[in-house]
Structure 1
């Protein structure tokens, strides 16, 4: 494959991407041949504006393009890896298929896997199809792609509501009508302290006729685990993961003016554990008494056509997504208090309540006695999308794009926490029983409407939403140097939301909680851009754009005078609420960017810089009450400002350097009581500094070519909440009441990687290493609160330790 530049990264060695057979933004060229070397950096073509191919250095936007070939040679390619190669993008990964994208400091906290109303701030697209789900974007491997484009800043005009911070586009390689080619690759890698990993992948392109071609690829892998479970689950390397992925694409050109593309993408991953350990043990050990893991089955079907109508291209795209997501955790420390002695005087027993005396500190023997709390979330998502747009022909004084968009999505979430033995062991609990039921035996199903006996929580959420949008975007080339761009998008959104909660955690006085909510919103989102081409090698630009995302329905909060309901009522009153809002509305922001793009030293250096200021208002913030319930409301303002720098240097025909970095200062503008933020507090889950340095060396050796690469990526530390305080409203003013039980610091990361590849004719061999100095360790921290006596420290997400791998590739 050719080396496909990273807009500020890795691209010095990449050849220009050929123009497609049509102006279809997704069209591609043959990517099977090696790249030539030269004295200057090659041009890179992007389709981020969805109006045809353009030179990256001529697009007046902050864009980076990830080099797919270099990621593959470096033994990387997971979704989270793309954040290492572009400034201002941060990805928090909890397990395969569970990632949260943050960009330009726009974040208010972590995500809740059970919250279907949590909206994405960064849109992820596969070609023209949105595939992102907040916290649960499918982990499609970065393979057989032309490039990955990262667009920073609001993209609401062309990419819709979920792109208020930015957009990530995976641009797939399309079938080639002119030649047959392909490849097969196998690899193996060893992880320090873990088990071996293996993978295989392949691609084939076949012209079936002069007008029809097919392209297929597959990826199969077993990623070895490195975290040991020493609980009753008792698994070594418990977090291994299996992945199966494939894609088949057809391209048909029955007429020179018409191109039809169809594709089917399939991905299935099954993780046998989570990338989680307990900080009280070490970075590679956890204790659970039940299974943990994730599974994700993703199927995407697309059909599109591009017709040259003379005055413009008519482009129509349809897509259907069918996805099933599963998440399992064993979080029995959170229910330990059900089984401890409350001074009842009953004897300690292994089969009846109480199981143990109330502990004063963590005791592994007690942890092993706890019934397995099998926290389960299963989701089914079906999405239908249809888009049509007209794209003007290039070359005139005015270029434009107009389009309409329709999407309908149905999402069904089933949450369940079966806990074997719970009914028998807890019915005499001092706080929760005993219950006056026939036989004196508590039954979760008959008493608290759980899905089954021995079930402490059962929940359903059904979300049915529909959006319609119309948009227009145009550029007036006032002179050869000055261009003005304006865009606007109108949207109409509707949602119906249903929720049911049963089990002891989901009822008030044994009555299940339910919610039926409907909401709708309409609005207009504009953008404007001005650019000035000082000369062929230097451009300056400025942009203002409005970003938005939709609202949603809230989970209920019980009201009452006693028990949990009484506590919730008091918590709500402390924040000025008589009840939790049934729904919450859209939030919005204005983003102001100035930037420049320059080529220096006769094209041997590129230097791109951008600076931004963001004013985010009516922020969707989640209020977590002490009674364990939560809801979202539009409260507070946040401002974010920062700079982004990217440069490439072609020092010699063989040697290329790449440097990039960003600084962000994102803070609460005024107090935000719902998240306990004081004026000036820095936003959580976002590093203030990021940096990346890459070096590449290519030369001919013997009958082949040698490629060397080495890299270093840095992220500064992140906080998990706005500050280290518990807070309360006193006389309408937010005050600190003590140290926070949830605040934690995610340490800085220092990733060192290297790879060597030798390409000889039809064969390619490689050796690589990642996280070579173990500088990437903890990637997230969840502190234990009321249940800390049953858990040895915090649950910490752990990155894969030092890994060394080999790969071999055969070109067909």
Structure 2
């Protein structure tokens, strides 16, 4: 087609859009006056705002008048529910500079909002959501394309209106930068780190430096990971982390600071929320995506996913199915066993969701999800690599083969009563963990102790946990746009762990000692939690929000451990039994103040308390009276002030905050005669600064970056704490371990066209400051590294092709590290580091339909 033909086509399309926008308003006025007050079931995906407005007009029969110039280039978030046409349009334009006025005939007219008219933009985005379904408005697909809508307070709000420190990324943004797992979230989120031993199942999420160790061990994590508001790693489901894969998500939110009021235990320092895409009853859609990548001096990787959304009853019932598989090659060679690329990971899983608008007031969602993640090795390599080696190597006998399986079933109900909404979320979670290791150094030790001849020192060890967990949340919340908004709820959790413990056997000892049982600990038990919570917000003069909330929770633990084995009782036949019940009540308030001088600027201050539940020491009594049966919860108060902006119609966003944390009764991993246990000891203070900037100075350029500064130190002496380096005691003022004082990230993206096809080139980088494995900046040093990534992509019709390079400069940054381990005269393992993946080059193809 020639230039004149293209011009004629564009003029035709532009005129047609204008005519259609005006033609929508031609229905009879009487019918319109009736329709504008009628509620209709409306479910729309995230799409161009113009299309969403047309869809609302078609489904409700209401005149909607607008100039195409006002909505050109804007995207609307997904909406789902039973509502009036005015409610639907209010949600679609939430966070924009548009307002609704009447046309005198019962229709709707869109105009530009003037200064001071902030209520319409804000109020339309504050009606609550279903806890189980996790319904939320999606943010725009560009990196900076308007106000982002989040659900951190279990209601829909603009990010700029939430009085808390939050990082939110949409599914489109995550896909654009190639995020596939938790470590990719860590890389770009200020204040979030992972000093864990391994990037997959060994992940140990830390927010704002709230940690005393590189791994969570048997303790509950200080950061809660939630799948549509469902905690995937409750307290009694310990061991390893559930590294949820990022596939078909609407948004991921990282909430910094304690979230105990609304999200309960486990969110001591914050929460990471996966908000998944829900079934869409308006159209068939889906995608197929596949990737292949090669790693320098390592094995190849491949991964992919498929999504299918299928309406079953138009505008009423739909099903959505997702499947994915990851096979990520390793890059570390194991020297003793002559094995190459041992740190491989394989993950596969999927989910299926059913959404039914049963009546105009009742919405039902049913979700099932499964994921199995296996790390074939921990991924450690020698801290000091052999001279001249171009490959990372390990000399450990066996670093561990871990497997985490999670199965989730959820039923969500939402009932609209007009002034209030009722919500119910019923969840069953089955979590099974298995961790295999070779403890040959134990056999070596006993061989020397008993003067035995040379033995086959293969000593397989197995640590395991299997939990069946039921969770029920009920909530009632106000609807509407009034100055007073509130939420009241109750939560119940019952966890049963029929199988949990550890076994270590040494077949080589059997002929000489009459037993091969070195360790056999079995610890079945359960946890029960019941809590009530509430939060209310009152707005004054459209500029000041006062919020107060409270959660009261009672937690009961009842675990019985049975222990035997040469290394725990001194014989192969003696058995030690301990019963460790415990009950605790926790009270967690939150208060905040948010001042909004304009619709694009917010200043806030808040104070909040968080907690982490206590637990039982399975090894109590094995090393004498020094190990308590249980340890109690630890708590912290977080105080922060911040500023949030969404300027230039969302093209410039700046968020910053400063915080101070008072942490007491720290849960610390301790050691007594090589028997591990957990205790409460001391207190700490942490303070810091966080900032994020995202800018779109031109349609062809996206820029952004983040910075986090943190200082964490003890405020009490703890003379009986056994440190990783063997020194006993810590003193006030000493720095906490495993957390960097500085984190920074930045990106730049160029957007352009090749012919008629949109394309982009993106460069990003991150820096992680130094951290230490022990208190007082002692022990093994890690961190102090940077990485650079490149991505480029093009979209032709429904096909997207992306090429990428991760770790462009092929750095060997140490994400974590562990000291050498000795057991008396026996050498257990060398000094090790856990490094970032070497340079990886790959290709991704995607088809949307």
**TM norm. shorter chain > 0.5:** yes
Query: Which residue of 227, 242, 252 corresponds with 2:332?
Result: 227
Aligned to 1:712: 765
The change in CA–CA distance for 1:776 and 1:248 in structure 2 (over 3 A counts) is farther
Gaps of 5+ in 1: 5-12, 345-352, 356-368, 425-440, 445-453, 560-567, 570-577, 726-742
Q: Distance in 2 between matches of 1:621 and 1:195?
A: 38
The answer as to whether partners of 1:513 and 1:556 remain within 8 angstroms in 2 is no
Does structure 2 retain, via aligned residues, the 8 Å contact 1:461–1:497?
yes
Is contact 2:821-2:828 (8 Å) kept? no
Q: Is the 8 A contact 2:146 2:646 kept in 1?
A: no
Partner of residue 578 from structure 2, selected from 511, 515, 537: 515
1:288 and 1:372 in contact (8 A); partners too: no
1:498 to 560, 579, 587: 560
2 CA distance for matches of 1:617 and 1:27?
33
Residue 2 of structure 1 contacts residue 14 of structure 1 at CA under 8 Å; is this kept in 2? no
**Cα separation, partners in 2 of 1:14 and 1:781, compared to 1, 3 Å:** farther
Is contact 1:154–1:163 with CA below 8 Å preserved after alignment?
yes
**C-alpha displacement of 1:277:** 2.2
The equivalent of 2:794 in structure 1 is: 758
Work out which of the residue numbers 285, 288, 291 in structure 2 matches 1:184. 288
Partner of 1:592: 639
Q: CA deviation at 1:508?
A: 4.0
- Rounded to whole Å, the distance in 2 between the matches of 1:789 and 1:524 is 48
Q: For the Cα contact (< 8 Å) 1:30–1:176, is it kept in 2?
A: no
- Return the match for 1:688 from 729, 733, 741: 741
TM-score calculated relative to the size of structure 2: 0.80
The question of 1:534 aligning with 2:597 is answered: yes
Shift of 1:463: 2.9
| Structure 2 equivalent of residue 733 of structure 1 | none
Give the alignment of 1:58-69 within 5 angstroms: 58-69=161-172
| Separation of aligned partners in 1, 2:80 and 2:396 | 53
The separation in 1 between residues aligned to 2:462 and 2:539, in whole angstroms, is 56
2:180 pairs with one of 68, 73, 77: 77
Q: C-alpha displacement at 1:442, in angstroms?
A: 1.4
1:188-203 paired onto structure 2 within 5 Å: 188-203=292-307
Contact 1:66 1:82 in 2 (8 A): no
CA contact (8 A) 1:149 1:169 kept: yes
Contact 1:687 1:717 in 2 (8 A): yes
Mapped to 1, the partners of 2:271 and 2:141 lie a distance apart of 28
Shift of residue 152 of structure 1?
A: 0.7
1:308 pairs with 2:395: no
Counterparts of 1:637-676 in structure 2, within 5 Å, are 637-673=683-719, 674-675=721-722, 676=729
Q: Does the C-alpha gap of structure 1 residues 789 and 285 become closer, same or farther in structure 2, counting only changes over 3 Å?
A: farther
Separation (CA, whole Å) in 1 of partners of 2:281 and 2:649: 36
CA 1:29–1:536: 2 relative to 1, 3 Å: closer
Report the secondary structure of 2:184's partner residue: helix
2:507 aligned partner? 420
**Judging changes above 3 Å, is the alpha-carbon distance between structure 1 residues 28 and 615 closer, same or farther for their aligned structure 2 residues?**
closer
For 1:397-412, list aligned pairs within 5 A: 397-411=483-497, 412=499
Counterpart in 2 of 1:362?
none
Deviation readout 1:282-303 (Å, 9 max, x if unpaired): 5622245568411122110000
- Asked whether the equivalents of residues 757 and 795 of structure 2 are also in contact (C-alpha less than 8 Å), the reply is yes
- Alpha-carbon offset, residue 796 of structure 1: 2.7
Number of the residue aligned with 2:844: 807
Counterpart of 1:152 in structure 2 is 256
Secondary structure at the residue paired with 1:105? coil
Is the Cα–Cα contact under 8 Å of residues 100 and 135 in structure 1 kept in the other structure?
no
Which one is further off, 305-314 or 326-335?
326-335
1:646-690 deviations in Å (ceiling 9; x for gaps)? 111112111011111111111100212325321111111111111
Trace 1:433-472 onto structure 2 (pairs within 5 A): 441-444=512-515, 454-472=516-534
Query: Structure 1 residue 632 and structure 2 residue 719: aligned?
Result: no
Question: Is there any run of 5+ residues in structure 2 with no aligned partner, and where?
Answer: 1-44, 49-72, 83-127, 723-728
Q: Which of 306, 326, 330 is residue 438 of structure 2 equivalent to?
A: 330
Q: Please give the root-mean-square deviation of Cα atoms over the aligned residues, in Å.
A: 2.6
Cα distance, 1:599–1:36 mapped onto 2, change above 3 Å? closer
CA-to-aligned-CA distance 1:194-224 (integer Å, 9 cap, x gap): 1111112110111011211000111112111
CA contact (8 A) 1:551 1:585 kept: yes
Structure with higher RCO (Cα < 8 A, 6+ apart):
1
Distance 2:441 2:420 in 1: 62
* 1:21 partnered with 2:71: no
Runs of 4+ aligned residues of structure 1 deviating over 4 Å after TM superposition are 1-4, 13-16, 25-31, 33-37, 280-283, 288-291
Q: Which residue number in structure 2 is paired with residue 218 of structure 1?
A: 323
Query: Which of 217, 220, 223 is matched with 1:122 structurally?
Result: 223
The 1:267/1:615 distance shift into structure 2, 3 A limit, reads same
Q: In the alignment, what sits opposite 1:396?
A: 482
8 Å CA contact 2:523–2:618 kept in 1: the answer is no
> SS at 1:217's partner residue?
strand
2: CA distance, partners of 1:419 / 1:703:
67
**How far is the alpha carbon of 1:251 from its aligned partner?**
0.3
Contact 2:735 2:777 in 1 (8 A): no
Give 1:768 deviation, angstroms. Answer: 0.6
In 2, Cα distance between the equivalents of 1:558 and 1:83? 39
CA pair 135-238 structure 1, distance change in 2 beyond 3 A = same
What's the counterpart of residue 478 of structure 1? 540
SS at match of 1:421: helix
* 1:696-740 Cα distance to aligned partner (Å, 9 max, x none): 222222131102211111111111111377xxxxxxxxxxxxxxx
- Retained in 2: the 8 A contact 1:336–1:370? no
Q: 2:12 aligns to what? A: none
Of residues 788-797 and 713-722 in structure 1, the stretch that sits farther from structure 2 once superposed is 788-797
1:264 aligns with 2:368: yes
| Equivalent residue, structure 2, for 1:363 | none
Q: Is the 8 A contact 1:157 1:489 kept in 2?
A: yes
Using the alignment, how far apart are the partners of 2:662 and 2:631 within structure 1?
A: 20
Mapped contact 1:610–1:644 kept (Cα < 8 A)? yes
Cα deviation digits, residues 389-439 of structure 1 (max 9, x gap): 011113112100000000011223131112331334xxxxxxxxxxxxxxx
Change (3 A) 1:789 1:507: closer
- Asked whether the 8 Å contact 2:141–2:173 carries over to 1, the reply is no
> TM-score with structure 1 length normalisation?
0.84
CA distance in 2 between counterparts of 1:169 and 1:251 reads 21
796, 804, 808: which is aligned to 1:768? Answer: 804
| Bigger shift: residues 247-256 or 40-49 | 40-49
Could you say if the C-alpha distance between residues 645 and 241 of structure 1 is closer, same or farther in structure 2, counting changes exceeding 3 Å? same
**Deviation per residue, 1:237-272 (Å, 9 max, x gap):** 122222211110010002122111111101112332
Equivalent residue in structure 1 for 2:148, among 41, 44, 55: 44
Per-residue deviation, residues 337-384 of structure 1 (Å, max 9, x unmatched): 333488x6xxxxxxxx333xxxxxxxxxxxxx8612322112101110
User: Structure 2 CA distance, aligned partners of 1:194 and 1:659?
Assistant: 31
Query: Given the alignment, which residue of 345, 355, 360 partners 1:241?
Result: 345
After superposition, the C-alpha distances for 1:100-133 in whole angstroms (9 at most, x for unaligned) are 11111111113364x3xx1221111101211125
